Structure 1
Amino acid sequence: MLTNYLKIAIRSLLHNKIYSFINIIGLSIGMTASILILIFVVHEYRYDRFHEKGDRIFRAEKQFSRDGRYSLYANPEFGPTMMQTDPKVINYVRTYSMGRKVVKTDNTHKFFEDRFLFADTSFFSIFSFPLIQGQRSALARPLTVIITEQTASRYFGNANPIGKFITLDANYTFEVTGVAKNPPSHSSVQFDFIASYPSLLTMPNERNIILNNSSGFPTYLLLADANAIAGVRQSILKTTYTNDHITYSLQPLFANHFNLNFGDVANTRYVFIFLCVALLILALALINYMNLTTARATVRAKEIGVRKVIGASRKTLSFQFYLESALTTVVAFVLAIALIQIFKPIFLNVLQQNIDTTFLTSPVFLSVVAGLLFVCVLLAGSYPALVLPQFKPVEVLNGKFSSANQGSGIRKLLTIFQFTVSIALAICTLVMNHQLQYLQSKSTGLERDQVMVIPVEQFSNAGLTGLKNDLQRQTGVEGLAMASVPLYRSTLPGLSMVTSPASQEKVGLKWIMADESFFAVLGITWHQKPETTKLEGNHVINQSAAEALGMVNLSGGDDLTMGGDHVPAVTGKILGMVNDFNYETLRSPIQPLIVSVVADTLLAKNESPSLYLRIDTHSALPDKIAAIKKSYETYANDTPFTYYFLDDAFNDLQKGETRLSKIFTVFTGISLCIACLGLFGLVTFSAENRTKEISIRKVLGASMANILMLLSSELILLLLLSIAIGVPVAWFSMKDWLSQFYYQTSIPLSSFLVPGVAVIVISLLVIWAKAIRVALEDPSKNLKSE
């Protein structure tokens, strides 16, 4: 029985090549798009799930509760104190990063490293990162380090790295005591080096940070039971770590990627949006299949009638149609797998994602894909299997049955749904592109073009002075400045709580240090210009800071101290005020900022000092960069040359929106392609079903225009209805999306008109491509049997 059903299904596929092609191509495109999105979505939701103790690991976060906007990592004593205070805390691990530093083994193997972490010996006991060589206790001694496989290959090639040495920051030599597997892409804790925590006590600056109990130590607690979190949170409230303005909170490890994704590496804000789009595209493909299958019921009507007369039950007929849908879906699925291999690198490149290939063969992902295939078979065959077996044999065999209008109401609704989704996606894409262009072209209060930023954190004072003098003499360098942070990069301005000279209240200010040329080189305009040209040793604030401090006019009479502890203190007067300029993302309003104007020797002591060079627009950029690199390497003391341009970094801040816009553009094209395939199939069926009617109309004098109108009028009405539904849906969706931005554009009328007109034009072309061919046929051939 099953063999016969399978033969019938294969024969049906081969006999109806056009419809089979439309169904298979439509389903395969929908599956390809959906599975590609699922690769991303499942990857995001599986973050950190590979840790065996993951449900019992919680990350500590120190927050300023005054406004809730700022968060810091824990103090170094938080973990040990909690373990002593609460027996439910059975272990802890502290991590610490010095930021970007140079790691070197020899003159040919030296690189800037951003993922050099220090951690307690419990790191590999709490987290499930496998060690290939070495023991978990390898981090007990100072100046020892465990490196990843990739790092070992980069620095030591194929040689055994155990017992060899690396140099950090040109001052500290570490012995390699272990090799760990590379952290998987779905790990929120990423590292290339794990150095022993006791090593920090051998480094003067870091030792002072620990002794001063300063923040900056991501700390993870391992609890005896995941349900003990409520009690541990109560224990935190009883410690001395909380006060009126500062509190500690614990976040589950599995929630870290979404709640604490500071760098927006995976753009997790849009995971839910991507998932919804994947389901919509798959729905469009399934609708095509159901529409065409039920529309062509007349072709199968007599077959169904005869089979019911000879004893076929509704159950066996439903099973046959499910088997046919399964065969079509499986063929489409195999084609989709081949397309995924082609388009996966392109898709991940757009998302800027690096997903481990091992993840794609994991039981979780394979189960999701298998579930997707099962759902497709179930849904694709559901409507045909329920509708077609209901045909009455008497009516069918007497010729009274006609399915021209059988299920037409549902087909119309499904067609409206298809084009509503396509139009809504097209409108959303245009609005996103408009907002992205607005953000990239918006004036930020400083001149970003032609500004080259060079990190110089490894330079000595003498080397820095020599480099600056050399660069200032170069032709094409119009200006040079220096600041304590590289703007628009991961190193953000620090936060300091200061006492307002006007109100004597505590105020939180973002803080950077810069030299006197900083404002001129970046084109920052003055709101209240200093009366003196000598700014060194004093401060400049922006308009938002003046408002926060309650300072309407700058008297310059009161001293204000910034920094202290492990950061060099700057005591001086507020001598000037600049207009607000965007120094961070455009998603939020400009924060109060104070700029301490200091000498280069003080700037060089910061974590990420950077030079800002304004390059002449007439300079040949490759030659200029080569000349700057040559000067850099003269004074670099074995430090690799790196740089970026300020406008590129600013555009990177919108990388999430850029990715979403690109993905929506592709999805819009896919949805239109699927919808038009379905439309072509329906027009083809309608034309075949009305061939004799069209021929009679032609004999009676109907023109080409009359025939085209006959075949397209109903579908055009459906398209207009789709536009009427899709426009408000897209408008409300985009208003909600734009509300995330402090700076947002208005939605232009063209964002609604262009997709509507384009969909109508494309649909007419698809309809007329078939209708014209039918209208040109010789009526005598179609009527010769009448």
Structure 2
Amino acid sequence: MLTNYLKIAIRSLLNNKVYSFINIMGLSMGMTVSILILIFVVHEYRYDRFHEKGDRIVRAEKQFSRDGRYSLYANPEFGPTMMQTDPSVINYVRTFSMGRKVVKTDNTHKFFEDRFLFADTSFFSIFSFPLIQGQRSSLARPLTVIITEQTASRYFGKTDPIGKFITLDGTYTFEVTGVAKNPPSHSSVQFDFIASFPSLLTMPNERNIVLNNSSGFPTYLLLANADAITGVRKSILKTTYTNDHITYSLQPLFTNHFNLNFGDVANTRYVFIFLCIALLILALALINYMNLTTARATARAKEIGVRKVIGANRKTLSFQFYLESALTTIVAFVLAIALIQVFKPIFLNVLQQTIDTAFLTSPVFLTVVAGLLFSCVLLAGSYPALVLPQFKPVEVLNGKFSSANKGAGIRKMLTLFQFTVSIALAICTLVMNHQLQYLQSKNTGLQRDQVMVIPVEQFSNAGLTALKNELQQQTGIEGLAMASVPLYRSTMPGLSMVTSPVSQEKAGLKWIMADERFFSVLGIAWHAKPEASTLEGSHIVNQSAAEALGMTTFPSADDLTMGGDHAPAVTGKILGMVNDFNFETLRSPIQPLIVSVVADSFLVKNESPSLYLRINTHSGLPDKIAAVKKSYETYANDTPFSYYFLDDAFNELQKGEHRLSKIFTVFTGISLCIACLGLFGLVTFSAENRTKEISIRKVLGASMANILMLLSSELIVLLLLSIVIGVPIAWFSMKDWLSQFYYQTNIPLSSIVAPAVAIIAISLFVIWAKVVRVALEDPSKNLKRE
């Protein structure tokens, strides 16, 4: 019996090639998009789930400032103190990163590394990162390091790395004592090196940070059970770590990824949006299948009637249609898997995501994909299996049955849904692109174009002075400055609590150090220009900082001392004020900023500075970059050359929105393709079903325009109605999306009119391309055939 049903299903597919092609292509496109999005969504939701003790691991976070806006990492004493004072804390691990440093084994193997972590011995016992070689206990000794497989291959090739040495920052030599598996892509803790925590006490600067109990140590606590977190939070309140301005919070590891306060979380913001898009596009594909299957009921009506006469019941007929749906869906699924292999690298590149192959073959993800396939089979066959077996055999065999209007109302509703989704997505896409163009063209208060930024943290004072002198002699370089941070990169300005010289109240200010040329090279305008001939040893504030401090006159009467956990003290008067300029993302308003003007030698000694080079617009950038690189390598002392341009880094701050815009553009195109495929199928069926009527009308004198209106009037009404529904949905959705930006554009009328006109034009072309062909046929041949 099953074999017979399968033969009928295959025969039905082959006998109706046009409709089979439309169904299979629509379903495969919907599945391809859905699975690609599920790869991303499931990957995000599975973050850190591979840790065996993950449900008992919490991350400590320090909330700093009166309004709790700033989050910092814990102090080094926090973990040991909590373990001693609360029995629910059975272990802890502290981590620490020095930032971007050079690691070297020999002259041919030296790289900048930013995933060099220091950690306690408990790192590999709390987290489930498997060791391939070595013992976790080796991290109890100073100057030992465990590296990942990928790192071992990069520095040592195929040779055994155990017992070999690496040099950090050209100063500290570490012995390789182990090799760990590469951390999975869905791990919030990423590393290439795990150095022993005691090593910090052998490094003068880091030793001071540890002994001074400074912030900056991501700390994880292992609890006795998952429910102990409430009690541990109460224990924290009893320690000396909290006061009016500083509190600690505990974040469960499994929610850590979605609540990060540092780094790029643009992807996680849009997980729910992407999931909704996946469901909508899959729904469009399933609607196509159900619409075409039920619309073509006439072609199957006699078959159903005969089957019922010879004894078939509704149960067996429903099974037959479900089997046909399953076959169509499985063929579409196989095609979708092939398409995924082609488009997955492109999709992940747009998202700037790396996803392990091991994750894609994991039982969890394969179960999700299998569930998607089963759901598609179930949903695609549900409506046809319920509707078609209801045909009455007497009416069918006597020729009284007509399916022209059977389920027409439902088909209209489903078609309306398809085009409403397409129009809403198209409007959202244009609004997003308009907002991105607005952000990129916005005047941020500084001149970003043609500014080249070069990190020079590894240079000596003499080497940097020589490099600057040589660069200033090069043609095409209009200005050169230096600052303690690379703007628009992950190293953002620090935070310091400053006592106002006017009100004596404390205010939280962002803080950087820079030389005197910083303001002129970046084109930052003065609001109150200092009268002093030199700025070195003073402070400059922006308008927001002056307002926060209650200052109206300059210079200030009192000296201010700036300093933090990781920076030396800088004392000086506030001599002037610059206009507000955006030094961070445009999602939030400009923060109060104070710039300490210091000597270059001070920056080199105490900070990890960056050079800012303003390049003449008439200079050829490739040649100028090559010339700068040559000068850099003369004094670099084995440090690799790296650079970026300020305008590129600024645009990168909107990378999450860039990704969303690209994804929406592609998905809008796919949804429109799916909707037009369905529309073409419905028009084709309608034209075939009304061939006799069209021929009679032509014989009676109907014009081409009459026939076009006959077959397309209802669909045009549906298109117009979809615009009426889709526009408000898109409008309110985009208003909500724009509200997350402090700087936002208005929704232009063109972003609404253009998609509506374009979709109507495309739909009419699809409709009339088929209708014109039918209308041009010879009516005598059609009537003779009928």
Taking the aligned partners of 2:266 and 2:138, their CA distance within structure 1 comes to 32
* Equivalent residue, structure 1, for 2:19: 19
Secondary structure (helix, strand or coil) at the match of 1:714 reads helix
Larger displacement relative to structure 2 (252-261 or 540-549) = 252-261
Give me the whole-angstrom Cα distance separating, in 2, the residues matched to 1:533 and 1:618: 32
CA distance in 1 between counterparts of 2:604 and 2:564 reads: 16
Instruction: Map 1:689-728 to 2 at 5 A.
Output: 689-728=689-728
Contact 1:208–1:566 (8 Å) recurs in 2: no
**Partner residue of 2:642?**
642
Aligned pairs for 1:611-622 (under 5 A) are 611-622=611-622
Counterparts of 1:359-758 in structure 2, within 5 Å, are: 359-563=359-563, 566-758=566-758
Q: Which moved more, 1:662-671 or 1:309-318?
A: 309-318
CA contact (8 A) 2:96 2:118 kept: yes
In structure 2, C-alpha distance between the alignment counterparts of 1:236 and 1:667, rounded to whole Å: 48
Task: Show CA shifts across 1:632-674 (max 9, x none).
Answer: 1111111111000000000000000000000000000000000
Distance 1:270 1:157 in 2: 39
Q: CA deviation at 1:395?
A: 1.3
CA drift at 1:553:
2.1
Q: CA separation of 1:747/1:170 partners in 2, compared to 1, >3 Å: closer, same or farther? A: same
State the partner residue of 1:57: 57
Aligned pairs for 1:763-774 (under 5 A) are 763-774=763-774
Match of 1:272 in 2: 272
Q: 1:303 to 1:566 in 2, by over 3 A?
A: closer
Give the whole-Å Cα distance in 2 for the aligned partners of 1:785 and 1:507: 88
User: In 1, distance between residues paired with 2:611 and 2:318?
Assistant: 73
- CA contact 2:541–2:578 (8 Å) conserved in 1: yes
1-structure distance, mates of 2:699, 2:62: 84
The residue aligned with 1:357 is 357
1:282: Cα distance to partner?
A: 0.2
Q: Which residue of 2 aligns with 1:107?
A: 107
Distance 1:9 1:473 in 2: 79
- What CA RMSD, in Å, does the superposition of the two structures yield over aligned residues? 0.9
Give 1:393 deviation, angstroms. Answer: 1.3
Distance (Å, rounded) in 2 between the aligned partners of 1:576 and 1:602: 21
Query: Counterparts of 2:274 and 2:739 in 1: how far apart (Å)?
Result: 19
Per-residue Cα deviation, 1:12-44 (whole angstroms, up to 9, x for no partner) = 000000000000000000000110000000000
CA distance in 1, matches of 2:254, 2:614: 44
1:224 deviation in Å?
Answer: 0.7
| SS of equivalent residue, structure 1 residue 784 | helix
CA contact (8 A) 2:258 2:265 kept: no
Q: Which residue of 1 aligns with 2:126?
A: 126
Shift of 1:510: 0.1
CA distance in 1, matches of 2:128, 2:608: 32
Local SS of the residue matching 1:191: coil
Q: Give the 3-state SS of the residue equivalent to 1:594 in structure 2.
A: strand
Question: Per the alignment, in what secondary structure is the counterpart of residue 605 of structure 1?
Answer: helix
**3-state secondary structure, aligned to 2:501:** coil
CA displacement 1:207-257 (0-9 Å, x = unmatched): 101111000000000001001111111111111111011000000001111
Q: Taking structure 1 as reference, are residues 565 and 26 closer, same or farther at Cα in structure 2, changes over 3 Å only?
A: closer
TM-fit CA distance, 1:605: 2.9
SS of 2:568 mapped into structure 1: strand
Map 1:68-217 onto structure 2 (within 5 A): 68-217=68-217
Find the aligned partners of 1:238 and 1:538 in 2 and give their Cα distance: 41
Shift of 1:554: 2.0
Map Cα deviations across residues 160-182 of structure 1 (whole Å, 9 max, x no partner): 00000000011100000000011
* C-alpha separation in 1, matches of 2:519 and 2:267: 33
CA distance in 1, matches of 2:303, 2:782: 24
CA distance in 2, matches of 1:660, 1:100: 29
Give how far 1:532 is off.
1.5
Distance in 2 between residues matched to 1:288 and 1:774, nearest whole Å = 22
Q: TM-score, normalised by structure 2?
A: 0.99
Q: Give aligned-pair identity as a percent.
A: 89
CA deviations over 1:715-748 (Å, ceiling 9, x no partner): 0000000000000000000000000000000000
Write the letter of the residue equivalent to 1:16: N
Q: Deviations over 1:473-521 (max 9, x none)?
A: 1110000000000000000000000100011011000000000000000
> What's the offset of the Cα at 1:66?
1.4
Give the Å deviation of 1:606. 3.9
Query: Which residue identity is paired with 2:524?
Result: I
User: CA separation in 1, counterparts of 2:620 and 2:285?
Assistant: 51
| Offset, 1:400 | 1.1
- Paired residue for 1:298? 298
Indicate conservation of the 8 Å contact 1:266/1:353, yes or no: no
Residue identity matched to 2:687: A
User: Which residue is 2:311 aligned to?
Assistant: 311
Take 2:785 and 2:324, find their aligned partners in 1: how far apart are those partners? Answer: 33
1:486/1:608 contact within 8 Å kept: no
- The structure-2 alpha-carbon separation of the partners of 1:291 and 1:606, relative to structure 1 and needing over 3 Å to count, comes to farther
| Contact preservation (8 Å) 2:496, 2:564 | no
Q: Which runs of 5+ in 2 are unaligned?
A: none
- How far apart, CA to CA, are the structure 1 residues paired with 2:392 and 2:650? 68
Map Cα deviations across residues 439-482 of structure 1 (whole Å, 9 max, x no partner): 01101000000000000000111011111111011110000000
Change (3 A) 1:32 1:75: same
CA displacement at 1:306 relative to structure 2: 1.3
Stretch deviating more after TM superposition (241-250 or 264-273):
264-273
> 1:600-624 CA deviation, whole Å, 9 max, x = no partner?
0111134430000000111111111
Q: Deviations over 1:298-326 (max 9, x none)?
A: 11111111111221111111111111000
Between the aligned partners of 2:466 and 2:556, the Cα distance in structure 1 is: 34
Q: C-alpha separation between the residues in 1 aligned to 2:569 and 2:101?
A: 23
The residue type paired with residue 644 of structure 1 is Y
* 8 A contact 1:568–1:602 mirrored in 2: no
Please tell me whether the aligned partners of residues 29 and 670 of structure 1 are also in contact (alpha carbons under 8 angstroms): yes
Deviation at 1:67, TM superposition (A): 1.2
CA distance in structure 1 between the partners assigned to 2:546 and 2:265 by the alignment = 34
- CA positional deviation for 1:564: 5.3
User: Alpha-carbon deviations, 1:329-374, whole Å to 9, x = none?
Assistant: 0000000000000111111111111110111000000000000000
Name the CA shift for 1:307/1:87 in 2 (closer, same or farther; >3 Å).
Answer: same
1:323-338 matched pairs, under 5 angstroms: 323-338=323-338
How far did residue 187 of structure 1 move?
0.4
**Which residue is 1:244 aligned to?**
244
Q: Secondary structure at the match of 2:177?
A: strand
**1:46 aligns to what?**
46
* Greater shift in the superposed pair: 632-641 or 675-684: 632-641
Distance of aligned partners of 1:714 and 1:54 in 2 relative to their CA distance in 1, 3 Å threshold = same
- Change in 2 beyond 3 A, CA 1:715/1:81: same
Structure 1, unmatched stretches of 5+, are none
Contact 1:100 1:112 in 2 (8 A): yes
Larger mean CA deviation between 536-545 and 616-625 belongs to 616-625
Letter matched to residue 756 of structure 1: A
Task: Give per-residue Cα distances to partners, 1:255-293, cap 9 Å, x unaligned.
Answer: 111101521166210010000000000000000000000
- Structure 2 distance, partners of 1:91, 1:630, is 50
Deviation of 1:65 after TM superposition, in Å, equals: 5.3
